[in-house]
């Protein structure tokens, strides 16, 4: 897992996309999957920054058959799934739920949480 510290700035979307692209860009990962990884990582980080109000670290691991993306923040508050009718600015978790192959939350002993998702890496 490669990590990138993003601080607590909501304007870090471009940095997120650049970092994810650098980790998953390869001939064995389709352009569509690379784009999806960048989009969902941006949603993870935006959600973490907005709701935790702490600094956020982004981790990306590229394995043979999958891509794992993690966002770690200093809050134990769990992500909430909004209703489908929620305003568009609150739909990041809906996108993650609908587009990721798997996702979840791990609470760490340090008091942090990691929200993660996985995508199939095959082309």
Domains of the chain: 2-120 (3.30.565.10)
Angle, CA of 45, 73 and 6, to the nearest 5°: 55
Q: What is the DSSP string of 27-38?
A: TTS-HHHHHHHH
pTM of this structure? 0.88
Question: Token pair for residue 97?
Answer: 């739920």
pLDDT tens digits for range 35-92: 999 999 999 998 888 888 888 999 999 988 899 999 999 998 888 776 666 566 667 8
């Amino acid at each position: 897992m490669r990590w990138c510290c993003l601080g607590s700035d909501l304007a870090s979307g471009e940095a997120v996309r650049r970092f994810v692209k650098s980790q998953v860009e390869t001939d064995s990962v389709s352009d569509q999957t690379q784009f999806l990884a960048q989009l969902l990582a941006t949603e993870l980080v935006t959600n973490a920054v907005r709701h935790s109000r702490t600094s956020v670290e982004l981790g990306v691991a590229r394995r043979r058959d999958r891509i794992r993306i993690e966002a770690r923040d200093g809050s134990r508050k769990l992500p909430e799934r909004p209703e489908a009718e929620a305003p568009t600015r609150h739909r990041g978790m809906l996108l993650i739920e609908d587009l990721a192959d798997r996702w979840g939350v791990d609470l760490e002993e340090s008091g942090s949480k990691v929200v993660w998702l996985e995508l199939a890496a095959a082309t």
